[in-house]
A and B are shown apart, each in its own frame.
Chain A
């Protein structure tokens, strides 16, 4: 069953994961997109503000995207996202950690310019296995309304 705008009332939506993140993944992403020593080199990372090897923040964001996809976006009539209001990296993602994603619907409203769609603003919180918050994000997506999907299927 495809999820539509009506399936996202404000409040807690769901908890997703756990998702294990390996050292190999962290090094591979960093080598391609963020080759700073704190993401690539154990010794340099120990001397950094983060005091040990940690994943690129963009890697964490990308993993969060995949967890959202696997959790609900993959079966949502989503038309994409216009952006991210705010994203905070609060603690480092270490090799071998297990991530859990909590999703709340912060706001859901029908689009004024395209009333066959709605704008659902999610708040996502990623925690590690110890329950420490690593990352918080507030981001809207555009979702089709149920009547619009029904009309498409009928048409």
Chain B
């Protein structure tokens, strides 16, 4: 993870990709979102989605998974260079989440994150606050998922 001072508006990170298999879609749906079009191929085909579709919360959770993995890769690289590691804080939320197109069984979604805004925290001077547009694009190049996330990021010279 990077420190607030290392981050600039417009910076874009590719987070890697994830294939939503039928088994993974059904496993998540059975636990959290057992609507028929997330659990059964035939019901999915009859729905607006046109096939077995991943729960939108599954897509969002996978985006989080890849964000964390990318952060861990960056931390490892920083450590290898002998640098201090930035441990990101929690997120106060997000806006403008759009499930633009269905994520169907077998789709491979590539996620990316682009910095949209940066500001200092009034109440917590050791932290900065960023907004990032996190997106998912399928194997046909179609944007399927987008959200504007907010996160606390540590400042480099804060006492920890």
Report which A residues bind B (CB closer than 8 A). 29, 32-38, 48-50, 54, 56-59, 61-63, 65-66, 69, 73-74, 78-90, 92, 142
How far is A12 from B92 in the complex, measured between Cα atoms in Å? 25
Most B Cβ at <10 Å: residue of A65, A73, A142: A65
Cβ A58 vs Cβ B61 within 8 A: yes
Most B Cβ at <10 Å: residue of A78, A83, A142: A83
Cβ A85 vs Cβ B95 within 8 A: yes
In the complex, what residues of A have CB within 8 A of residue B45's CB? Answer: none
Range, interface on chain B: 35 or more
How far is A89 from B151 in the complex, measured between Cα atoms in Å? 11
In the complex, what residues of B have CB within 8 A of residue A62's CB? Answer: 28, 31-33, 55, 57, 61
Cβ-defined partner of A88 (8 Å) among B34, B49, B93, B96: B93
In the complex, what residues of B have CB within 8 A of residue A87's CB? Answer: 93-95, 97
Cβ A61 vs Cβ B60 within 8 A: yes
CB under 8 Å from chain A, chain B span 92-126: 92-99
How far is A74 from B95 in the complex, measured between Cα atoms in Å? 25
